[in-house]
Amino acid sequence: MEDKKFNVIRTFLVPQVVQLIAENYSLDEITASRQFYVSKVYALLEQEDTKLWHFSPLTLFHMFQEEKSTGDFCIPEEA
């Protein structure tokens, strides 16, 4: 996938995941963004070859939740 297309996809996904984090953890968007940006989920989302970008924002949020509560997460196809 071209870098521009990948960045566009990521640009649409990240705000939706951040919004879910903010709503579910009663955080402001800045704090929710910071928490997401330092997560392992986001680190993998940044890498096109992981294909995490094809998951829905809700799935990514659930992966984030799992990481937050256990310190790690499973990628759904590998579960």
Q: Which tokens hold the place of 41? A: 């989920």
At position 76, the amino acid (one-letter code) is P
Domain that residue 57 falls in = 3-74
* 53 domain residue, yes or no: yes
Model confidence pLDDT, tens digit, residues 10-33: 789 999 999 999 999 999 999 999
Q: Which tokens hold the place of 36? A: 């997401």
* Residues above pLDDT 70, as percent of the chain: 92
* 79 domain residue, yes or no: no
Question: Count of domains in the chain?
Answer: 1
What distances in angstroms separate CA 25 from CA 11, 16, 57, one per listed residue? 22, 14, 16
* 61 domain residue, yes or no: yes
User: Model's pTM, two decimal places?
Assistant: 0.88
